[in-house]
Chain A
Amino acid sequence: MSKKAGIKELSPIDVYKLLPKTNCKECGQENCMAFATKIVNREITLDSCKPILKKENEKSYLKLKDMLKPAVKEVIVGVGEKAKKLGGKLVMYRHEFTYFNPTALTIDVTDEMPEQEIVSRIKRTENFSFEYIGYTLKLDMIAIRCTSGDAEKFKAVVKKVSEITNLPYILCTLNAAIAEAGLMAAPKANPLLYAANSENWKDMAELATMYHCPLVVSAPNDLNLLVSMVKTLTAYGVTDLVLDPGTFMNEGLGTTLNNFTMLRRAACKGGEELAGYPLIGVPMIAWVGKGEAADEIIKWKEAYLASMLVVRYADILVMHGNDGWALLPTAVLRQNIYTDPRKPVAVAPGLKVFGTPDENSPVLFTSNFALTYYTVASDIESNKINAYLIVVETEGSAIDSGVAGRKLTAERVADAIKASGVEDKVKHRKLIIPGKASRISGEIEELSGWKVQVGPRDSSEIPKYLIDKWQP
């Protein structure tokens, strides 16, 4: 096995030593040391340093590039704005740093689907959109599978897909001749080619080289073969690889998780370069040999398999079911797992203004726990309500736990009203409080002098509540 130096902790000093030390501020930082710190925290890219790109600094530049190289290579699929970066992982566990490049969620079409179905599946994939605490959750890619065995048919469908969407796609066929037909349909689309295996690897390698596209290396449950192929293909000159150790259901699930975990650990902890590539998982395996099972059962299985693979290191997933109820948990989980664990979970307390409130507009309060705040804020915003929202310091507690744990008290609410200055902005003195804080409503009235109205338990009901109950 080829080894590179294990991922060692990099200090800003290590980076600083190799920088031009001009303190030119061209990168937008105060000096080179500040830039070095941003670099190790991955808050800026090396190429923002203009002097280091000069010829005379090439040696340092290459050295830095190597030092900063992630344990899992970053592979780009597609072109333009929607191009997708896969992998680029620095660490195995998210608490060690943070995960980059969220798992790409891919929905399939086949070359035997009626054109109308292809179009509608692609539109549905493109239109998948869910607003979640300030993020928009989306799907990322299309997998085009050749089920016909007919190169011309495949080519026509690839052409069609490339015309109707900018989403990157995977060409799925183990037949190199068919793959080539697909590549010819849109030669510059930089698709991910699925897949090279022990039999077709040479032809697939030729195609990947010729069309400069990334290539999946497939060796179901054979990691020796997998790394052998990586060694062979890189020697061949194919450098953008994605690894497919196979995805197995039911009693094979443990093997699946083991293979993904071993590969990622070997890459991140063992410095094994042959394992240092993005991993592809195929939850749509649930549809193979489906038999009499109801579609919903298969979708259910596919969905939980996808979620388990999001947790266990998959960088890209191929799915067939495209129902919102099945995709949403996986999409939310992906967002959760890929949030920066260094990110604070509290927002700044204070007065937030929504729309254009006047002196008769409602005044509400919520906690400063980020998830609570964003949920409430998005409910107010999306319904175009004009209102004042007081964010009370609850030390990052949600409403119910804040009340229970005495982090959300009437004193804090009263203080927050005073500090917010809202008393100068509205002429009424009515405060709408979260339903889950009803226990402290009496105390709030007493301490603040405001009249309290107990609002809904869930902020989704705020719009209706205001219509029914709000009178300044």
Chain B
Amino acid sequence: MTTLPHHDKKDNKTAAAEGLGLSPELLDLLAKFQEIEVEDFQMDVSEMELFFTPGIAGQMPTLKLPSALKAKPTAMLQAAFVPPVETYPDKIAEVKLGGTRSEGGTRGRSIVIGGETSPAFYTFERPIVHSPIVTLDVFDMEVPLSKAVKMHVKDVIGDPAAWAKLAVEKFGADMVTVHLISIDPLLKDATPKDAVKTVEEILQAVDVPLVIGGCGDPVKDADVFAEITETFKGERFLISSLTRDMNIDRCAKFVKQNGHAALSFTPMDLNLARELNRRLYDYLGKEDIVMDLTTAALGYGLDYAFTNMERARMAGLMGDVELAHPMSSGTTNAWAAREAWLKMSPEWEPRELRGPLWEVTTALTLLLAGVDLFMMMHPAAVKTLKEVTKNLVKGGKVDTAKFADWVSVKA
């Protein structure tokens, strides 16, 4: 990935959020920012094929029914609602991330994602198998960050191990993504050995499973991933990511031989996703592949991302094995939308709230399409996503009596 900083040179000290009087829990996490970090994403929608069912026309003015001569009912007529429960021929693969000591790694626990047997949160059909999870971004060098994020991590920038600790202990990250930006030949061109050292430090600092992120250079990433997968055999990292322009044979081989999992990344085209997965199958099993179908921001192609993922999940359940993989989303891409970070006219302010809400909205939309692993950025967005997910997985009693109160509540 690359960083795309949006600079706003004005340093306005009066953080609008400070004056909002918000409860510390969530609002501590919402604050003013000036620069934002955006994951590179490729949107190749021109190639995207859209299936539609030709032929169901409608939306016509309703016909006046001939007035019924029947007597009006005096008592409630009974009808039963039959829950439309379906079964699906296939299920989504389960992928385990993080290797514990008994498995040759050092992680405190492993996390399994995927395994769905129904579309996202159709809990009227079947309970959730594994809860979707969140991995937080940690960078191995100083990068331009949104001020809203920066204020939460300013003490740990340049110290990835401390940063990872903060992400896990304070922000509740299930996993940590180590972005090895410094290996970029156009930046620091750090060596594979340097990268190994960074990863080693993070492994020491936290015991959650890790995602290992490259810099986006297909050749350099492969070299670094080779070194890391071999050095940390048994840690069961998620290698982020394997793309079509990499030497797939080489990469898939070292991922498999050292017991890791691969993130298969394609630019918003299900046929390309199938194709890349097929190439990976020569070396990797279904249980070794998570797919990233590309996340576009709310307002900037989220509809394509949503439909693409919804279709992929449905296809996977219906027996298309090449798409029956857990899905990952680079939700941080939400910040690519200018409405997430731009100072706008007063009726849309404060952006300190609008920005993280943009990320949450992007995340929740894709949660409902079936995403299993969210790569996220803003602590408040993370907190909300985790809360919602927990509620959806756990379920609970519904207060029907309280609902009617909305009509008369004096809000």
Asked if B348 contacts A328 (CB within 8 A), the reply is yes
Instruction: Tell yes or no: B171 within 8 A of A by CB.
Output: no
Instruction: Tell yes or no: B391 within 8 A of A by CB.
Output: yes
For chain A residues 139-164, which have a beta carbon within 8 Å of chain B?
145-147, 149
* Chain B residues closer than 8 Å to A326, beta-carbon distance: 353, 357
| Per-residue interface assignment for chain A, residues 385 to 425, with 1 indicating a CB less than 8 Å from any chain B CB and 0 otherwise | 00000000001111011001101000000000000000000
Asked if B60 contacts A65 (CB within 8 A), the reply is yes
Asked if A329 contacts B76 (CB within 8 A), the reply is no
Given the contacts A224-B79, A296-B20, A251 and B396 also touching, CB distance less than 8 Å: yes
Can you name 17 A-B residue pairings with CB atoms under 8 Å?
A65-B63, A90-B58, A95-B310, A146-B408, A198-B76, A237-B72, A251-B396, A252-B397, A266-B84, A300-B357, A311-B364, A320-B411, A329-B357, A346-B45, A397-B44, A400-B2, A405-B42
* Chain A residues closer than 8 Å to B41, beta-carbon distance: 401
**Taking the nearest CB of chain A, how far is it from the CB of B304, in angstroms?**
7
**Complex CA–CA separation, A330 to B299 (angstroms):** 10
**Taking the nearest CB of chain B, how far is it from the CB of A213, in angstroms?**
15
Instruction: Tell yes or no: A366 within 8 A of B by CB.
Output: no
**Complex CA–CA separation, A290 to B405 (angstroms):** 12
* Chain B residues closer than 8 Å to A201, beta-carbon distance: 76
Asked if B407 contacts A74 (CB within 8 A), the reply is no
Instruction: Tell yes or no: B187 within 8 A of A by CB.
Output: no
Asked if A172 contacts B398 (CB within 8 A), the reply is no
Instruction: Tell yes or no: B43 within 8 A of A by CB.
Output: yes
* Chain A residues closer than 8 Å to B216, beta-carbon distance: 404
**Complex CA–CA separation, A218 to B310 (angstroms):** 30
**Complex CA–CA separation, A230 to B76 (angstroms):** 10
Asked if B43 contacts A396 (CB within 8 A), the reply is yes
For chain A residues 410-458, which have a beta carbon within 8 Å of chain B?
436, 457-458
Interface centre among A226, A320, A328 (most CB of B within 10 A): A328
**Complex CA–CA separation, A201 to B22 (angstroms):** 42
Instruction: Tell yes or no: B147 within 8 A of A by CB.
Output: no
| Per-residue interface assignment for chain B, residues 269 to 310, with 1 indicating a CB less than 8 Å from any chain A CB and 0 otherwise | 000000000000000000000000000001111111011001
Interchain CB contact (< 8 A) of A257 among B27, B68, B121, B394: B121
Give me the interface of B with A, judged by CB distance under 8 Å: 2, 4, 6, 20-23, 25-27, 40-48, 50-63, 65, 67-68, 70, 72-74, 76-84, 121-124, 216, 267, 298-304, 306-307, 310-311, 314, 338-339, 342, 347-351, 353-354, 357-358, 360-361, 364-365, 368, 384, 388, 391-400, 402-411
* Chain B residues closer than 8 Å to A228, beta-carbon distance: 76-79
**Taking the nearest CB of chain B, how far is it from the CB of A367, in angstroms?**
10
How many chain A residues touch B (CB < 8 A): the figure is 143
* Chain B residues closer than 8 Å to A186, beta-carbon distance: none
Instruction: Tell yes or no: A100 within 8 A of B by CB.
Output: yes
Given the contacts A40-B54, A69-B58, A328-B354, A285 and B79 also touching, CB distance less than 8 Å: no
Interchain CB contact (< 8 A) of A254 among B46, B67, B123, B348: B123
Asked if B342 contacts A396 (CB within 8 A), the reply is no
**Taking the nearest CB of chain A, how far is it from the CB of B385, in angstroms?**
9
* Chain B residues closer than 8 Å to A56, beta-carbon distance: none
Question: Interface with B: A16-24, A337-345, A357-365, which one?
Answer: A337-345
Instruction: Tell yes or no: A284 within 8 A of B by CB.
Output: yes
Given the contacts A91-B53, A235-B73, A45 and B60 also touching, CB distance less than 8 Å: yes
* Chain B residues closer than 8 Å to A215, beta-carbon distance: none
**Complex CA–CA separation, A67 to B59 (angstroms):** 11
Asked if A41 contacts B59 (CB within 8 A), the reply is no
* Chain B residues closer than 8 Å to A252, beta-carbon distance: 396-399
**Complex CA–CA separation, A158 to B82 (angstroms):** 39
**Complex CA–CA separation, A252 to B349 (angstroms):** 31
Interface centre among A39, A248, A337 (most CB of B within 10 A): A248
**Complex CA–CA separation, A224 to B79 (angstroms):** 6
| Per-residue interface assignment for chain A, residues 222 to 250, with 1 indicating a CB less than 8 Å from any chain B CB and 0 otherwise | 11101111111001110100000011101
Instruction: Tell yes or no: A9 within 8 A of B by CB.
Output: yes
Interchain CB contact (< 8 A) of A1 among B20, B79, B298, B357: B79
Asked if B398 contacts A341 (CB within 8 A), the reply is no
* Chain A residues closer than 8 Å to B402, beta-carbon distance: 288-289
Asked if A300 contacts B353 (CB within 8 A), the reply is yes
Asked if B405 contacts A288 (CB within 8 A), the reply is yes
